[in-house]
A and B are shown apart, each in its own frame.
Chain A
Amino acid sequence: MALRMPAPDQSVLARRREIVAALREIVPGEGVIDAEEELRAYECDALSVYRQLPMVAVLPSTTEQVSRILRYCHDNKVRVVPRGAGTSLSGGALPLADGVLLGLGKFNKILDIDFANRTVTAQPGVTNLGISTAVASSGFYYAPDPSSQIACTIGGNVAENSGGVHSLKYGLTTNNVLGIEMVLVTGEVIRLGGKHLDSEGYDLLGLMIGSEGLLGVVTEVTVRILKKPSTARALLIGFPSNEAAGDCVAAIIAAGIIPGGMEMMDKPAIHATEDFVHAGYPLDVEALLIVELDGPKVEVDHLIERVAEIARARQSMMLRISESEEERVLFWAGRKSAFPAVGRITPDYMCMDGTIPRKKLPEVLARMRLLSEKHRLRFCNVFHAGDGNLHPLILFDANKSDELERAEKFGADILRLCVEVGGVLTGEHGVGIEKRDLMETMFDDIDLAQQLRIKCAFDPESLLNPGKVFPVLHRCAEMGRMVVSKGQLPFPDLPRF
């Protein structure tokens, strides 16, 4: 699958020097980067098989600068790619050869902590964990916890609607953000939401969250914070089959229990992580569940027992209950290091992110094994079992002739399978460039055209992060009805490493 991006506009490239000078007028000093070696830092995000140097990078530190940059780019028809910490797994921050890379890293301040209203207002470059840290001494935290939370920024979380292992009980970014300030491509600054709930008009805040940088640039975020649960305990449960583990998950939910986290790993993932962190995972089971309950001690103790009963009635081979905070953390240690653990047993891996109806898990795992044989590549699975979000990791070696290509095809087949059984292409990593060309497996032309018309309502010239999320589109002004077309323009393939 050759990745096609919009063709660089030669007339923009020809004006590079003038554009750099104009940006320096707006952001003085080192905030504008045009030297190739320095631009290397921005050539990819965490989906690092795709790389592209931006034309220029600009690092503003005020909303007014963002506004002036966007107005300039809008007036001069220059494309813009916004970027937070660059931890996207779907290529959302991949630069464009003729584009301005707009880095929000200097927006790193917490602006307001309001315990009475239980909100924090932060600039978009503050890390996800940074918000929790800022309120931790008072016993509060920000609930969504993507595994990259040390590095990923709240602005990036808004762009991607990030989840995390606790989203089953506490929701995703979209359920925890109350307001934003953002800059439209025209440079106009608007505010959506605030410390209050719900919108006075259309829920544009809800639309913005997860819009992957295509609709505007977020310059301030207000989130709600929660008091930390007083107790958390976890169970580690081994099963003789994926089916038995899947049944147990369904039975826990059917019993009316919503755990704080409920994660599943298959046998290859158990072995890879146990070899890496020695968390004490059993090696003779086919599937492992981690179920965490949080709340008052009396509730946690009560529910731990109920979950244990449910598991025992479903062929659990081993069951351990954390008796201390250290032990709880150890149960999680393997799961949380699943990606680096897999990184040790393979030169390269590709992480997929489909979501499926939970009960389809045994079927999907069985069919993934067939796909694995077909594509002659190994894989393992970590799974946010509570909400059906699968992370199959495809193992490959990019130095071997066609393995990357086979891995991409295997990945695409997995995602098609997710859609076929009633699921979706991406649960929390975003479409970006990675799943862009699979959008038509989930949406027909009318569905996509409706989404593209919304893009046009925000950004009629398609200057904000073009080439992401949607198969390449015609300009809004060229037609009354949007037509989606792929590959009709001569797009160069990007270099890949």
Chain B
Amino acid sequence: MTSPRDADDVRQMVADAAAAGTPLELVGRGTKRGLGRPVQAAATLDLSGLAGVTLYEPDELVMTALAGTPLAEIERMLAEKSQRLAFEPMDMGPLYGGAEGGASIGGVFAANLAGPGRLRHGAARDHLLGFKAVNGEGEIFKSGGRVVKNVTGYDLSKLICGSYGTLAAMTEVTFKVMPAPEKTRTVLVFGLADARAVEAMSAALGSPHEVVAAAHLPAAIARRSSVAYVASAGAGVTAVRVEGPAPSAEHRCKALRAELAGFGATEELHGMNSAKLWHEIRDVRPFAGDARPLWRLSVAPTEGPQAVARIARSAGAEWFYDWGGGLVWLAVPPAIDATAIRNALGGGHATLIRAEAGLRAVAPVFHPQPTALAALAKRVKESFDPKGILNPGRMD
């Protein structure tokens, strides 16, 4: 285990590893090590020592933090100024049997996390304004800046998000922060089957009410919620969230209930109940307590129920939908293999988010790409890490 204290240490350690041809496993605070193909590395580069917020200007909506800074610390600082990360990064720790609140901000961007607010506010990729990092040759480089509007050079902030430490070791990230909404309301619609629920969510998302999030929990999943209105429904629960200044959140909530009344009985959640429900959905709590292989499908929203129907109905699987139907969390028995799941998609992609290491070592964790695209991705990797020493194999 190698524990750098600053960017220059990281540079030195990566340069040494590059010279020796020693593969490194990059770790922020280690909460998502169960995601991706297991890395075969001689040493671990632990970036948690690079911690601290170095710039926070609330009225410029910008923050800069060292990559190992705990996300929890950042969220606390933001909350003090009534701000937040609008992309609502999920906390994956509990999915892998870990504690809550352990993630680093670098890991959030490296995994391109996003929660239910993805629909309206984008993912981590849409909020990273700039970064500093060390590439696979041990060189410190930077990209982007601290301003929202910037087209100077390639947008490497996008590329580094979701690269899982295979391109470079991020040492510092600068990102957009947003005002927290004054009020949040969630409209619930009861008793919808999956496809009908997606229709309801499409109607809500196609309305002018600026819906921020839309999810559907089939009956078996809804039952596990800690929110009484949801757990006691005895049926599928479709949830649609709006935000804003008090008068508009209330107005939107009312207008949506009217608009969705044709789909089924409705109810509304306020304050704590609303927050609790979206927290459960964000962190995939319904599947946190077990060890079944867990898939994340990203598809066109109307494709969600169809893909599920092809894969899961008769196989003892469980699932729920976020992103208006476009994100499916699917827990399956180990017998269902990767090919069956991917063949069931009519577009989009499937990622094996959780599985025991043995399975992840043999099944492609990330969705395989067509030849030309895979070759291009490999050349891009080599342009950062020609010797292949950073998290080798993790995204294979």
Which residues of A come within 8 Å of B, CB atoms?
114-119, 139-140, 160-161, 163, 167-168, 171-172, 174-175, 184, 188-192, 194-207, 209-211, 227-230, 250-251, 253-258, 295-296, 298-299, 302-303, 355-359, 384, 387-389, 422-431, 435, 439, 442-443, 446-448, 450-451, 453-454, 456-458, 469
B205 touches A118 (CB 8 A): yes
Whole-angstrom distance between the Cβ of A263 and the nearest chain B Cβ: 13
Assuming the A-B contacts A117-B202, A184-B376, are A428 and B252 also in contact, with contact meaning beta carbons closer than 8 angstroms in the complex? Answer: no
Q: Which residues of A contact B167 (CB under 8 A)?
A: 202
Identify A356's interface contact among B147, B157, B377, CB under 8 A. B147
Identify B251's interface contact among A257, A298, A458, CB under 8 A. A298
Whole-angstrom distance between the Cβ of B322 and the nearest chain A Cβ: 10
Q: Which of A207, A258, A426, A439 has the most CB of B within 10 A?
A: A207
CB of B20 closer than 8 Å to a CB of A: no
* C-alpha gap A296/B209 in the complex (Å): 7
Q: Which residues of B contact A453 (CB under 8 A)?
A: 383-384
Identify B300's interface contact among A117, A189, A428, CB under 8 A. A117
B298 touches A387 (CB 8 A): no
Q: Which residues of A contact B384 (CB under 8 A)?
A: 450, 453
A201 touches B367 (CB 8 A): yes
Determine the residue in chain B with the shortest Cβ distance to A228: B208
Query: With A454-B383, A458-B376 given, can you name 6 additional A-B contacts, CB distance below 8 Å?
Result: A167-B149, A190-B372, A197-B298, A198-B114, A206-B155, A389-B147
A427 touches B151 (CB 8 A): yes
* C-alpha gap A456/B255 in the complex (Å): 53
Interface with A: B23-31, B175-183, B278-286, which one? B175-183
Q: Which residues of B contact A443 (CB under 8 A)?
A: 142, 153
Assuming the A-B contacts A197-B123, A203-B162, A451-B154, are A302 and B247 also in contact, with contact meaning beta carbons closer than 8 angstroms in the complex? Answer: yes
* C-alpha gap A116/B199 in the complex (Å): 8
Determine the residue in chain A with the shortest Cβ distance to B370: A190
Which residues of B come within 8 Å of A, CB atoms?
57-62, 82, 112, 114, 118, 122-123, 125-126, 135, 139-143, 145-159, 161-163, 167, 178-180, 182, 199, 202, 205-210, 244-245, 247-248, 251-252, 255, 298-303, 323, 326-327, 347-349, 351, 366-367, 369-370, 372-374, 376-377, 379-384, 395
A195 touches B300 (CB 8 A): yes
Q: Which residues of B contact A195 (CB under 8 A)?
A: 299-300, 303, 347-348
B141 touches A427 (CB 8 A): no
Whole-angstrom distance between the Cβ of B175 and the nearest chain A Cβ: 14
A359 touches B349 (CB 8 A): no
* C-alpha gap A448/B383 in the complex (Å): 12
Assuming the A-B contacts A296-B255, A299-B251, are A197 and B383 also in contact, with contact meaning beta carbons closer than 8 angstroms in the complex? Answer: no
Q: Which residues of B contact A116 (CB under 8 A)?
A: 199, 202, 206, 301-302
The 10 closest A-B pairs by CB, nearest first: A206-B158, A299-B248, A256-B179, A200-B349, A195-B300, A200-B367, A196-B348, A427-B149, A457-B379, A453-B383
Determine the residue in chain A with the shortest Cβ distance to B198: A116
Q: Which of B125, B148, B161, B298 has the most CB of A within 10 A?
A: B148
B59 touches A426 (CB 8 A): no
A199 touches B162 (CB 8 A): yes
B376 touches A298 (CB 8 A): no
Q: Which of B153, B158, B199 has the most CB of A within 10 A?
A: B153
Identify A256's interface contact among B157, B182, B348, CB under 8 A. B182
* C-alpha gap A410/B381 in the complex (Å): 40
A201 touches B377 (CB 8 A): yes
Q: Which residues of B contact A201 (CB under 8 A)?
A: 162, 366-367, 369, 373-374, 377, 395
Q: Which residues of A contact B303 (CB under 8 A)?
A: 195-196
Assuming the A-B contacts A202-B163, A431-B151, A457-B376, are A451 and B209 also in contact, with contact meaning beta carbons closer than 8 angstroms in the complex? Answer: no
* C-alpha gap A458/B375 in the complex (Å): 10
A194 touches B149 (CB 8 A): no
Whole-angstrom distance between the Cβ of B363 and the nearest chain A Cβ: 14
Q: Which residues of A contact B145 (CB under 8 A)?
A: 355, 422-424, 442
Q: Which residues of B contact A423 (CB under 8 A)?
A: 145, 147
Q: Which residues of A contact B252 (CB under 8 A)?
A: 296
A-B contact pairs, 21 of them (CB 8 A): A116-B302, A118-B206, A171-B122, A197-B326, A200-B366, A204-B159, A254-B58, A256-B182, A258-B179, A299-B244, A356-B147, A357-B57, A357-B60, A358-B59, A426-B152, A430-B151, A431-B151, A450-B384, A454-B154, A454-B156, A457-B380
